[in-house]
Structure 1
Amino acid sequence: MEFGRAAERIAEVLTEHRVPGAAVGLLHGGVVTGLVHGVQDIDSGVAVTADTAFQCGSLTKTWTALAFMQLVDEGAVHLDEPVRSLLPGFRVADPEATERVTPRQLLDHTNGIEEAFGDPGEEEDVYERMVEQVADAPQVSPVGTVHGYSAALGYAILARIMEVADGKRWDAIMRDRLFDPMGLAATTSRPAEVDPAHAAAGHLIRSMEEGPIPTPIDRLPRAYGPGGNVSSTAGEVLALAHVILHGGIAPNGARVVSEAAIREMTTSRVPVPDPYMFGPEWGLGLVVCDWGGRTVYAHDGSTIGQNARLRMLPAEDLALVLLTNGGQRDSLYRDVFDAILDELGLGRIPPLPAPAPGLVLDTSRYVGVYERPGTAFEVTAEAGRLFATVDLNPMQAAFTGLPDRITYELLPISETHFVMPPVGPLEDSQTVAIFDVERGAARYLHTNCRLHPRTG
């Protein structure tokens, strides 16, 4: 398919959102089509091309999961074998989690372990050190009970298992098992290896009037590598999608994993407490969405100034990718992908649900503090209405010019789910789950895939 009329609409959307640069890719029936927009870096003014490499953020997790499934195919690791049998020195604060947590629970984010790994540094042994440094990490939730996204730790533990099983460091495993066999010249897990002539630079937007400015943090720490440090082009991300959509076969004909491995990744699922923002289920390295009855496999990724969105529709043999170096996330990707879906006659991405007018709740069951290190939500009630106040990271607040504390209203969808409308023009609406009521009080708040236990 050519983008046709969608190309004009996509350009309008990217301009409206003040996106410095973007690459959009479409894989349909085995044919790849792409379009580019803007510049790699507002300082250099170099135009985005099909060869521009963007930071993929957490979309990296799908790459890592795929490499892990190769080892499963080979019998070197097993999804339901305790991590401790693979890494005898592995230990966290909770004895049950120490003994029971498995690679499957790391892949689908039901391990429940807090991201308490300290500073493991930037050396080659970073994932080995992370495993050593979580001996006192507490549980956010009991192992295997509820989905709670792990930005770095879960996939770092998987990377260490891979290193022990394969006898190489994680970066070399990714190169030797995926990038080189698939013929991906631009994809790398090491930021320093990205060709500077084709590297997108991240940007933040503090106001639409000011427009994009360079990010103060140009890459994630190496601790986030297996969960966030792959850089790639739109075309090469679509090669990853090809593997998922075609039973483990890359576009160049290389068999990356078995058909059974892809089936396991897509059908081994756990429910997501907030099903609306990303999807109702989580597979192994993939989110599973429902677009009006169509199954969609997905993963998103963001670094500090770059964003990646991948959606795969198996029944249509279709994949869409959007890579940007700035701009909003949810509303932007929806507008871009809706333009393509319209062109294909496939409808649009389902919107977030509307609040339920007249729904009366016992607000006392939700009131409290829900927090994890670095993020706290204080839920309060006033005249039958619920509000969530968030404490921002001081560095984030200082750079963006936002206040240290922001209060959002929570508009009920049901007794456990809420819409959280934005308070400014640069934000998108979000959804929130507050659930698991015990003795009259909810135990957890789940939003943006993250799980926050009640602490007060």
Structure 2
Amino acid sequence: MTLDRVEDRIAAILTEHSTPGAAVGILHGGEVTELVYGIKDVRTGEPVTTDTVFQCGSLTKSWTALAFMQLVDEGMVHLDEPVRTYLPGFRVADPEASARITSRQLLNHTNGIEEAYGDPGEGDDVYERMIAQVADAPQVSPLGHTHGYSAALGYAILARIMERIDGKPWDVIMKDRLFRPMGLTGTNSWRGDVDVARAATGHLIRSVEEGPIPTPVEYLPRSYGPGGNVTSTAREVLTLAQVFLDGGVAPNGARVLSATAIHEMTTSRVPVPDPYMFGPQWALGLVVCDWSGKTVYAHDGSTIGQNARMRILPGDDLALVLLTNGGQRETLYKEVFDVILAELGTGTIPPLPNPNLSLALDPSRYVGVYERPGTTFEVTANCGKLLLTLSLDPMHADFMGLPDRVTYDLLPISETHFLMPPVGPLEDVQSVAIYDFQHGVAQYLHTNSRVHPRSSAEAVRSGHEHQGASLRSPR
């Protein structure tokens, strides 16, 4: 690999996307290459170094899954036993789900529980409190019915199982089971343990003219811990990747997990309704991508101002990591990784499919409101074309200088999949699945890995309307 050429091209990409700072890690054939760019904080101008720690966001889930699978290795947990086996008081609103939800369904995001856990606080008992506060949480979807990403709750339940078995707070468990045995000195799960002198600051971009500004939200709540609060360096995220590449063994020779458990993590998979944005399958703590027939394991993560991307290519003995403190997400990571992949001659990331604008769809099958607390999507039709309107959180919209409602075109790829082109220069193209047709209308909208059911009022209305000879578009 011609490093100078790669470094210059990546620097140009980061500048183009107004990214303040970044760390790139490349693990190829057992050798690690680290590249760093830019600054940690626009206010100080302090440069990013190889020791700079970034917030990993939901890439944390791969760390948590790895530690949880150690309990499986030890025979302390069985993936298909109900959660109640380990947390006898566990319950949600649905009695069947309460009795039957398993650890596997938490790991692969098919449990269907709404993230209705309130404010569990910032204490060491946060995950115990979360479990207590979901007793009335409804199902977004029936247990095991569809993949729907859980940002915090699912992995918090896993963390509480770990706490009950190990008798320690989850943050201590992560140190004892992973960080110390793997020889990691810059990786932490609790913000209070982060060396602030090494930490990158997150940035948001409201306009190209203004450029990146420091985030008003410095860290995620502790409730996100097992699902989003690990901080690390590019090299130490590569250490995580190498455990998967080397059948459970860390670079320092420590056996972190059995090869059998690694195999289970990568081969136990469920389909993802929207296969285009991240990957067509979800395994145990990993996304499974298909890059032109090549299997790639991955996980992404974002906090409010920082982004992390990890890709593991076993067939090429390769892992790539990108940690940034601002800028675009999807377009940026793909352009950076494509530079490296092309230089290594291992192919590049497949682009999103082209829309099929000649596809004739019946808009009435899709039109409706799909929502969860805090997020509402409304699909409408205009002259036979589908549109999607997203209602933004008013505080977020005000800070970012955006309207409360943003409307996008939905361009069909197939009868169930659509592209959603950006409406501004700082957005990425997104893909959307609208699927699971009952009584002639779709029941779910899936985008950014999250599932949103048709609102209950719309579902009832659609069912009654279908009883007639024709189906009208619900409003």
Is residue 376 from structure 1 mapped to residue 376 from structure 2 by the alignment?
A: yes
**Which residue does the alignment assign to 1:255?**
255
Cα distance in 2 between the residues matched to 1:25 and 1:12? 17
**Which residue does the alignment assign to 1:202?**
202
CA contact (8 A) 1:36 1:49 kept: yes
Cα distance in 1 between the residues matched to 2:123 and 2:197? 26
CA contact (8 A) 1:2 1:33 kept: no
Partner amino acid for 1:311?
R
Partner amino acid for 1:12?
A
Partner amino acid for 1:417?
H
Partner amino acid for 2:271?
P
Q: Deviation at 1:347?
A: 2.0
1:299-326 residue CA offsets vs partner (Å, 9 max, x unmatched): 0000000000000000111000000000
Aligned ranges 1:26-105 → 2 under 5 Å: 26-105=26-105
- Give the match's secondary structure for 1:431: strand
Cα distance in 2 between the residues matched to 1:336 and 1:401? 28
Cα distance in 2 between the residues matched to 1:150 and 1:3? 38
Q: Deviation at 1:254?
A: 0.2
Aligned ranges 1:261-300 → 2 under 5 Å: 261-300=261-300
Cα distance in 2 between the residues matched to 1:382 and 1:47? 50
**Which residue does the alignment assign to 1:404?**
404
Partner amino acid for 1:292?
S
Q: Deviation at 1:348?
A: 1.3
Aligned residue pairs: how many? 456
**Which residue does the alignment assign to 1:226?**
226
Q: Deviation at 1:375?
A: 0.4
Q: Deviation at 1:451?
A: 0.2
Cα distance in 1 between the residues matched to 2:200 and 2:378? 37
Cα distance in 1 between the residues matched to 2:80 and 2:273? 23
- Give the match's secondary structure for 1:36: strand
1:212-245 residue CA offsets vs partner (Å, 9 max, x unmatched): 0000000000000000000000000000000011
Q: Deviation at 1:435?
A: 0.3
Cα distance in 2 between the residues matched to 1:252 and 1:208? 44
CA contact (8 A) 1:435 1:442 kept: yes
Is residue 211 from structure 1 mapped to residue 211 from structure 2 by the alignment?
A: yes
Q: Which ranges of 4 or more aligned residues in structure 1 deviate by more than 4 Å?
A: none
- Give the match's secondary structure for 1:197: coil
**Which residue does the alignment assign to 1:163?**
163
**Which residue does the alignment assign to 1:111?**
111
Cα distance in 1 between the residues matched to 2:88 and 2:410? 45
**Which residue does the alignment assign to 1:239?**
239
**Which residue does the alignment assign to 1:388?**
388
Which runs of 5 or more residues in structure 1 are unaligned?
none
Cα distance in 2 between the residues matched to 1:4 and 1:416? 44
CA contact (8 A) 1:56 1:230 kept: yes
Q: Deviation at 1:122?
A: 0.2
Cα distance in 1 between the residues matched to 2:421 and 2:357? 15
Q: Using a 3 Å threshold, how does the CA distance of structure 1 residues 212 and 133 change in structure 2: closer, same or farther?
A: same
Q: Deviation at 1:357?
A: 2.5
**Which residue does the alignment assign to 1:447?**
447
Aligned ranges 1:307-346 → 2 under 5 Å: 307-346=307-346
Cα distance in 2 between the residues matched to 1:391 and 1:332? 25
Q: Using a 3 Å threshold, how does the CA distance of structure 1 residues 4 and 343 change in structure 2: closer, same or farther?
A: farther
CA contact (8 A) 2:2 2:343 kept: no
Which one is further off, 238-247 or 190-199? 190-199
- Give the match's secondary structure for 1:198: coil
**Which residue does the alignment assign to 1:361?**
361
Partner amino acid for 2:178?
L
Cα distance in 1 between the residues matched to 2:304 and 2:100? 34
Q: Deviation at 1:3?
A: 2.9
CA contact (8 A) 1:64 1:226 kept: yes
Cα distance in 2 between the residues matched to 1:265 and 1:357? 38
Partner amino acid for 1:331?
T
Cα distance in 2 between the residues matched to 1:413 and 1:320? 29
**Which residue does the alignment assign to 2:468?**
none
CA contact (8 A) 1:3 1:343 kept: no
Cα distance in 1 between the residues matched to 2:191 and 2:28? 30
Q: Deviation at 1:335?
A: 0.5
Cα distance in 1 between the residues matched to 2:197 and 2:170? 26
Q: Deviation at 1:191?
A: 1.1
Partner amino acid for 2:288?
V
CA contact (8 A) 1:141 1:453 kept: yes
Q: Deviation at 1:2?
A: 5.6
CA contact (8 A) 1:3 1:340 kept: no
- TM-score, length-normalised on structure 2? 0.95
Q: Using a 3 Å threshold, how does the CA distance of structure 1 residues 344 and 4 change in structure 2: closer, same or farther?
A: farther
CA contact (8 A) 1:84 1:90 kept: yes
1:237-272 residue CA offsets vs partner (Å, 9 max, x unmatched): 000000011000000000000001100000000000
**Which residue does the alignment assign to 2:434?**
434
CA contact (8 A) 2:357 2:411 kept: no
**Which residue does the alignment assign to 1:124?**
124
- TM-score, length-normalised on structure 1? 0.99
**Which residue does the alignment assign to 2:469?**
none
1:380-430 residue CA offsets vs partner (Å, 9 max, x unmatched): 011110001000011110110010000001000000000000000000000
CA contact (8 A) 2:363 2:385 kept: yes
Cα distance in 2 between the residues matched to 1:214 and 1:118? 27
User: How well do the aligned residues superpose, as a CA RMSD in angstroms?
Assistant: 0.7
Aligned ranges 1:147-162 → 2 under 5 Å: 147-162=147-162
* Percent identity of paired positions between Structure 1 and Structure 2: 73
Q: Deviation at 1:4?
A: 3.9
- Give the match's secondary structure for 1:43: coil
Partner amino acid for 1:55?
Q
- Give the match's secondary structure for 1:310: strand
Cα distance in 2 between the residues matched to 1:340 and 1:12? 14
Aligned ranges 1:185-196 → 2 under 5 Å: 185-196=185-196
CA contact (8 A) 1:26 1:318 kept: yes
Q: Deviation at 1:208?
A: 1.0
Q: Using a 3 Å threshold, how does the CA distance of structure 1 residues 2 and 103 change in structure 2: closer, same or farther?
A: farther
Cα distance in 2 between the residues matched to 1:411 and 1:195? 46
1:354-394 residue CA offsets vs partner (Å, 9 max, x unmatched): 10021000110100000001100000011110001000011
